[in-house]
Structure 1
């Protein structure tokens, strides 16, 4: 199964040797629907492949975060009104582990503060029927901690992959290493 972009960035590449995916986000990009802010944005960058059934997606995320809400991580998407994104989000000049779940067209958001010297974050999302287990590791030892357990309805096909966006800024560089998506 090959990967494809939803809203491809102007600049991105995959290093042939290291397989690191580097993305320069475009400005004013995001995934969000209605809650609190009243707007709908569906123009963030999402590099995904189609999965069926249960799966696990794991990746190491780094970024040169600068502007409010700069973000990079994993996305699981059924359609424009039902999806999850998780990763690092830059809020008030600090990095947070972040999860947004959008169901039936409304987004919610939760964050966990990270240590000040965080350089990278391992993320893992596991689908088990209608449940998504969202986990992170900020120590680099793959000793994952649960961030969230949420419901996302089962569909025959689900888009799974990496996402990044710059809602308020002019863009930043995001790096994705060791991307692995496999059936459970």
Structure 2
């Protein structure tokens, strides 16, 4: 399906996986979401625990469209995070975005199929910037890209996803180690998907 112009997804069209501490749509259209202390999404690997109480605002994702989420946040505590979540079920999901880890903002993704697989790269220059995460389904995969401002897109992850699986997607945030993280989501949109990986 070709989209002439990006389609803005209304915040009210999604449903929360776990209610955040607070969520308020501003007059200008931003959605301010305050994460509950201890919220996270993770399964087993390395840490030995399962967390499934992330704040993800999801709706059904048409594979013929790319989904983009934009946000700003003042990350300051270990594992503060926000971005885009793709969810098939509680054991099959992908989260991609910016996560504050080891003293710096990190661009990365967690791909989960029973167990979680995490990759990150430092992006200290993205502190305080508006970040956009974009995902497209491409055959048996999801292509995740990201950028700050209007810079060129960066490839974050090529991850497997059953081409026959129905999925939901939308913005998410978590605050595993503190209370008070508020993320300003500035856009949730659908647009044309990537036509290829390169």
Normalising by structure 2, report the TM-score: 0.85
Task: Select the residue among 30, 33, 38 that pairs with 2:40.
Answer: 30
Residue 4 of structure 1: aligned partner:
15
Verify the 8 A CA contact 1:52 1:156 in the aligned structure 2: no
By how many angstroms is 1:54 displaced? 3.0
What are structure 2's unaligned runs of at least 5 residues?
1-8, 194-198
What are structure 1's unaligned runs of at least 5 residues?
none
CA distance in 1, matches of 2:180, 2:106: 18
Partner of 2:124, secondary structure, is coil
Verify the 8 A CA contact 2:63 2:136 in the aligned structure 1: no
Count of aligned residue pairs for this structure pair: 181
- Structure 2 residue 51 is matched with structure 1 residue 41: yes
Verify the 8 A CA contact 2:88 2:165 in the aligned structure 1: no
* Structure (1 or 2) with the greater strand fraction: 1
Normalising by structure 1, report the TM-score: 0.91
Verify the 8 A CA contact 1:72 1:163 in the aligned structure 2: yes
Moved over 3 A (4+): none
Superposition pairs of residues 139-158 of structure 1, within 5 angstroms = 140-158=149-167
- Structure 2 residue 26 is matched with structure 1 residue 15: yes
Residue 180 of structure 1: aligned partner:
189
Partner of 1:141, secondary structure, is coil
Give me the CA root mean square deviation: 1.7
Task: Assess, with a 3 A threshold, how the Cα gap between structure 1 residues 48 and 142 changes in structure 2: closer, same or farther.
Answer: farther
